[in-house]
Chains A and B, each alone.
Chain A
Amino acid sequence: MYVSDTYAYASSRERWRRLKDNAFEIVALLATLVGIVFLLVLLVDVVRDGWPRLTWQFLTSFPSRRPQQAGILSALVGTLWVVPLAGIIASVIGVMAGVYLEEFAPQNRLTRFIEINIANLAGVPSVIYGLLGLQLFVRYMRPITGGRTVLSGALTLALLVLPIIIIATREALRSVPPSLRLAGMALGATRWEVTRDHVLPMALPGILTGIILSVARAIGETAPLITIGALTYVAFLPPFGLEGLRSPFTVLPIQIFNWISRPQKAFHINAAAGIVILLTVLLLLNGLAIYLRNRLQKRWRA
């Protein structure tokens, strides 16, 4: 075989390799675009479908049998009752649990067991939390919660987002340099004093971001609240005050689901309008998380 033949062989092989290389990069790029294009089409489709119903009347009306007169007032108010309540309960418990695991826990079997447990809970389907809430809060704790009420819904969602807050809190605490703790210790502060006065304030942006993201998750949850028996047709608002906790309720995603599951096209338009409002709230929350993170980070750097 002549040298030139080997060359020709090598270069054709080389070309083939290069071709495969380029093809692979293009395929990877296309795969990345799948998600983005899908999201854009979804957003455009939903806004286009829901646009005609996006009026003030839609925001301030109760649901109705006539699609043109129906609105999301009770669903919106229900979400405003259930989600912040769930957020507060989960934040208090979640941050305390995160602080314990990161700052106080001894390294033993129990701690490791708790850690594995939290990781697993984060992977339990939300509908299972609904079944837990149905039995635990709606049935066993009926004297306190009053059954299928705002309080039961909030407690169920709180358990659901608890792992997210614990994991976010731990990550935020872990990013605080150990030297800060050592400095506090050197000055004779107790663990709690260092945690309260130095570690927690520094970890706050991360913790807040975790809380906001978990609230965003709670706003979109449908299945667990249907499972505990939230109503799908509510033409009243929970009374303002403590008795509102024991009031039946519905939330935005359940109202949307209710409209989707009706055969008439007009209700699907209502569903799309509801989705636009739901997504707007979620985008605002995500924006708030980013804003808080940037702002607080700057302040701590200064």
Chain B
Amino acid sequence: MNASARDMWRSRPRYGERVLQGLFFLSATLSIFVTFGIAWIMLSESVAFFRRPEVSLLDFFTDTQWTPLFAEKHFGIVVLASATLLITMIALAVALPTGLLTAIFLSEYASERVRRVVKPFLEILAGVPTVVYGYFALTFVTPLLKKFIPVIATFNSLSAGLVMGIMLIPMVASLSEDAIYAVPQSLREAAYALGVTKREVVTGVVIPAALSGIVASFILAMSRAIGETMIVTIAAGQNPRLTLNPFVPVETMTAYIVQVSLGDTPHGSLEYQTLFAVGATLFIFTFALNLFSHWFVRRYRERYE
């Protein structure tokens, strides 16, 4: 409802309605409590983690080993974070061009009939549970890759990254398409009037005009890739190691959380606290990216009348 209609309400709410409205308000504020709840839990358990004598904040950022489950413990988050970023980069290399081109095809080239066939496919692709993608990466994509790259291990970053990239296509495509859709037709027509070809309109006019929305979709895809859990747990392995080699097993931040959660983790134990230290790192990464994408859209959005 717009502001003027809202201000025109004159009838006073009855007593029971006041109570109801209070309840509605509480439901809406729950989201704030959830956010602060997450932040508080991450912070308090991480503080407990760093207070331990065997843990130091400096080592957390500089150590090149991650072995909290071994007798000789090292806590170098770089090991897990680098695996996360490696797989994220592979996924984005697939998802960004493919997703953007899909959006361009659907909005600029496809007929209404083609759109009506393609869109449900993308919606189904977006709705496939990640555990299913993980299964496919491990039992189909990895054996396929092995035919071309014999050195590739059963668990590797490449397969997980490629499949995750496919998973992200619908998200990039639909967000980019929204941005492209918002570009007014008159802009395209003005370009055509100058004798420009269709591709030149797309790359020279439409994409620059929709750039803020497209970049936002890229950032959100990155955030989604960093937080993705099941594909990497199933297909990329549970071997924390610092490497940029996409053919060997690694362990991402999310995979570590799953690995530890599968075992018995009594509260207050070191394993329990590492969950939250890793979780806090993950939360900061994704939260910063999400905020950045909102800010980016607000800051750089082109407005058309």
Contacts and interface: CB of A to CB of B under 8 A. Distances in A.
A185 interface: yes
Contacts of B105: 25, 28-29, 31-32
A3 interface: no
Contact of B21 (A100, A120, A139): A100
Interface in A179-217: 181-182, 185, 188-192, 213, 216-217
A219 B197 CA distance: 47
A11 interface: no
B5 A38 contact: no
Contacts of B128: 39, 42, 220, 279, 282
A21 B192 CA distance: 14
A219 B130 CA distance: 11
A296 interface: no
A238 to B, nearest CB: 21
Contacts of B34: 121, 132, 159, 162
Contacts, number: 282
Nearest to B114: A32
B97 A271 contact: no
A127 interface: yes
Interface stretch (B7-15, B182-190, B239-247): B7-15
B5 A25 contact: no
Given A121-B34, A185-B11, A256-B131, A286 B124 contact: yes
Contacts of A216: 127
A191 B5 CA distance: 11
B28 interface: yes
B262 A232 contact: yes
A121 B134 CA distance: 25
A1 interface: no
Question: Interface size class for chain A?
Answer: 35 or more
Contact of A97 (B27, B203, B220): B27
A27 interface: yes
Given A20-B199, A125-B226, A46 B132 contact: yes
A180 to B, nearest CB: 10
A171 interface: no
Contact of B11 (A121, A132, A189, A222): A189
Interface of B: 1-3, 5-6, 8-14, 17, 20-21, 23-25, 27-32, 34-35, 37-38, 41-42, 45, 97-98, 101-102, 104-106, 108-110, 118, 121-125, 127-132, 134-136, 138-140, 166, 169-170, 173, 197-200, 202-203, 220, 223-224, 226-230, 233-234, 254, 257-258, 261-262, 265, 267, 275-276, 279, 282-283, 286-287, 289-291, 294
